[in-house]
Structure 1
Amino acid sequence: MEHKAYWAMKLLNFDPHAAGKNRILQLYVLDEFRREAYKNACIYKERTKAWHDKKLTRKNFYPGQQVLLFNSKLKLHPGKLKSRWTCPYTITNVTPFGAIELKDNKDNFKVNGHRLKPYLTSQQSQVHMVKLQDLP
């Protein structure tokens, strides 16, 4: 068996030392490729985060303001025409860390400020639309 393997190597002109060096070179190239891919992924994540942060708008709430509350229970099965935003509530208290106290017809409750958006009446929305049309 060894004799046949020896002659097969000679026939194919196979040098095990050169093949080993070639394999090590391939592993170095692969490692360099991985490092380059990692750098590119980091650059992509940084740019995406910068773009996302640039698009964020700060929501400022104050007591007495009317807001809509996001109903997260409708997230999976909202129904055909059901809105995920529930009736306007009045803000009674705003804490510096984002917790906001809302007043319903009967009781008060606290929610996270990220679940709220300002409620615009028809008059306010018309003023808002006029301001948007004035922009270049």
Structure 2
Amino acid sequence: MDLKAAGEKHLIQLNELDKFRMKTYENSRLYKELTKKWHDLHIQRREFEVGQKVLSYNSRLKLFLGKLRSRWSSPYTVTKVLPYGAIEVSNETKGTFTINGQRLKYY
């Protein structure tokens, strides 16, 4: 066995492994960018104003859903528009609470 040749071969393999790892990181970064771009394109931007009527999406109905039952609950009135997409809504029976604007649609 030639120890010097084995050592050089081992260093070459380590360099190839580093190149492979860097290529994997680059591919992962590109995939994440494309996934983010696709996700951002499919987000529906909605602008809400105070006094507007909206419906709220009830995700819990997915578990116990009847065939024709609506997932959108009763109309709420927008009382305040908060930063970063948060909306404060109120209803006569359920009171006032804050909800993500992505879970609302126009009534």
User: Normalization by structure 1: what TM-score?
Assistant: 0.63
**In the alignment, residue 12 of structure 2 is paired with which amino acid?**
L
**CA deviation map 1:48-76 (0-9, x unaligned):** 2123223322111123322111223334x
List gaps (5 residues or longer) in structure 1.
Answer: 1-13, 120-136
The structure richer in strand per residue is: 2
One-letter amino acid matched to 1:29? E
TM-score, normalised relative to structure 2:
0.76
Distance 1:72 1:42, change over 3 A: same
Query: What do the CA deviations read for 1:65-102 (whole angstroms, capped 9, x no partner)?
Result: 22111223334x132423322122233x1223223222
Q: Tell which has more relative contact order, 1 or 2 (C-alpha 8 A, sep 6+).
A: 2
The corresponding residue for 1:94 is 80
Q: Which runs of 5+ in 2 are unaligned?
A: none
Is residue 2:98 matched to residue 1:111?
Answer: yes
Q: Distance in 2 between matches of 1:78 and 1:88?
A: 21
Number of aligned positions between the proteins: 103
What is the alpha-carbon distance in structure 1 between the residues aligned to residue 71 and residue 94 of structure 2? 21
Conserved 8 A contact 1:67-1:116: yes
Once the two structures are TM-superposed, the CA of residue 43 in structure 1 deviates from its matched residue by 1.8
Offset, 1:41: 1.1
Distance (Å, rounded) in 2 between the aligned partners of 1:21 and 1:49 = 42
Question: Runs of at least 4 residues of structure 1 off by over 6 A?
Answer: none
Which has the greater radius of gyration?
Answer: 1
Which residue identity does 2:23 align to in structure 1? E
Between the aligned residues of both structures, percent identity stands at 40
User: Aligned-residue CA RMSD in angstroms?
Assistant: 2.1
Aligned equivalents of 1:39, 1:66: Cα separation in 2: 46
CA contact (8 A) 2:54 2:104 kept: yes
Distance in 1 (alpha carbons) for counterparts of 2:103 and 2:35: 24
Alignment of 1:69-84 (within 5 A): 69-75=56-62, 77-81=63-67, 82-84=69-71
